[in-house]
Amino acid sequence: PNPLPTLIRKKRDGERLEDAEIRSFVRGVTEGTAQQGQIGAMLMAIRLRGMDAGETLALTRAMAVSGRALAWPPAWHGLVVDKHSTGGVGDKVSLALAPALAACGCKVPMISGRGLGHTGGTLDKLEAIPGFCVSQSPEEMCSILERVGCCIVGQSEELVPADRVLYGLRDVTATVDSVPLITASILSKKATEQLSALVLDVKFGSAALYPTQESARELARSLVEVGTHLGLRTVAVLSRMEQPLGRAVGNAQEVLEALECLHGGGPRDLRQLVTTLG
């Protein structure tokens, strides 16, 4: 593949990147040979020029294999599932949904993220619990799923390391709302999890990344299309985000509200969305 500045120039000028070129870029991100300025420039070029479905799929695959793939016992076949949200103010659904699914017999190995833009991150919320550790090895994840049925962890040097780098840089380079970058970020994590089924909560409205239902639908189509190509049974739900979800906003407060929901209480809109996605 061409040197990284050449690849940046290609995408800047609206040209299509070949699969090998995309793999080369992701390898530079993972191995640390790409400078932060170069990564930021490529992110902005992708944000402004876009990627076609083939490029987005290649980026997702390259990010997914940047770390270890998870493996599960044969007895869990058909039971390993997950959910991901595009994020919104007060969105604490994962905190209630993962244990609810586990109580139904599912295994939920959720690789989640921190806050992006103005939306709170599931990992940040969990760290409001004293002593909670969001960094677990694949072996520890398997042990936790065996005992508890669900876990929520972050990207690491072992799990999707390319996404860990790109995730943070998207937040500081104003490239959060790029459809191919969102698609690759979400689905690279989910491809690593070796899932049987995936549900995506794609939000729209004034408090979401995408203000209109049609722009959110475009993202949902991209996610379902790429997810299906990756061999994941993928569905997307469009949910309204004109106002915060539930009543609580703030990491510790949202953990408490999720616990209320698990006890059968909490705000009606939160219970309804948890049930719909479940």
| CATH number, domain containing residue 122 | 3.40.1030.10
Q: How far apart are CA 42 and CA 36, in angstroms?
A: 10
* pLDDT for residue 113: 80
| CA separation, residue 117 to residues 98, 99, 121, 173, 209 (Å) | 24, 27, 10, 10, 8
Quote the DSSP letter at residue 69. P
Q: How far apart are CA 95 and CA 81, in angstroms?
A: 15
Residue 206 located in a structural domain: yes
Tell me which residue of 10, 85, 6, 84 sits closest to 51, measured CA to CA. Answer: 10
User: Which residues constitute the domain of residue 99?
Assistant: 74-155+193-277
pTM: 0.88
**Which helix (H) or strand (E) segment is 83 a member of?**
strand 81-85
* pLDDT for residue 21: 97
Residue 271 located in a structural domain: yes
Residue 6 located in a structural domain: no
* pLDDT for residue 155: 81
* pLDDT for residue 117: 64
Residue 88 located in a structural domain: yes
Q: Which residues of the chain have pLDDT under 50?
A: none
pLDDT digits (tens, 9 = 90+) for 205-240: 988 888 899 999 999 999 999 999 999 999 999 999
Residue 106 located in a structural domain: yes
Residue 138 located in a structural domain: yes
* pLDDT for residue 116: 65
Q: How many domains does the chain have?
A: 1
* pLDDT for residue 77: 95
Indicate which residues carry an active-site annotation. Answer: 82-85, 122, 170, 185, 189-190
